[in-house]
Chain A
Amino acid sequence: DSGVTQTPKHLITATGQRVTLRCSPRSGDLSVYWYQQSLDQGLQFLIQYYNGEERAKGNILERFSAQQFPDLHSELNLSSLELGDSALYFCASSVARTGQRGYTFGSGTRLTVV
């Protein structure tokens, strides 16, 4: 157990639907990062939050949004889902605001859009 908790582990939904992925960072970590990993692909950065504030944004689609709550857990909202959104979504946390410390990844949420 890495200390980063992601729920649910698996999600199957239909095109056009909306889903919410949840992440609880490791105790003491203030930064939360979301990454998307499509089949046999690398890790694509979506968005970062630090202590409730958005700090960096990657190639995140307008249909996707995220937030970090006062208790530091984060949610990634994916709407108007398309088949191409099927992927493994990882959350990672870090104690630092800057990218100068390693991340600890959660086990991921596997999203399948049918």
Chain B
Amino acid sequence: GENVEQHPSTLSVQEGDSAVIKCTYSDSASNYFPWYKQELGKRPQLIIDIRSNVGEKKDQRIAVTLNKTAKHFSLHITETQPEDSAVYFCASNFGNEKLTFGTGTRLTIIP
């Protein structure tokens, strides 16, 4: 079935350190993998995405890597700042018309 597993469910890192969140998907037909950030009480916002023909993508302090063979993709945040504290969701399209989301990771940056 269409399943996205996301780990860890909670993550606390010291300000300035790096944070890594990992997701695994179940269907090799998946070809689009976005990441969303949701601050408390706010809407999810797209922060970065990657397609299956690319192995890595960077945008300033954020990067996403994709391993198609292992069917997993990861979000990397470097030089973390207090404003990075939020819930992060990975997602996959499973080759069809909607996104299936992971269960979320609550990231807390410790000053």
Contacts and interface: CB of A to CB of B under 8 A. Distances in A.
A56 interface: yes
Contacts of B12: none
Contacts of B96: 56, 98-99
B98 A45 contact: yes
Interface string B23-62: 0000000011010100000111110010100000000000
Contacts, number: 61
A95 to B, nearest CB: 13
A99 B102 contact: no
A33 B51 CA distance: 21
| Chain A: interface size category | 20 to 34
Interface of B: 31-32, 34, 36, 42-46, 49, 51, 89, 93-94, 96-104
9 contacts: A2-B45, A43-B44, A50-B97, A99-B93, A99-B97, A99-B98, A100-B93, A104-B46, A107-B43
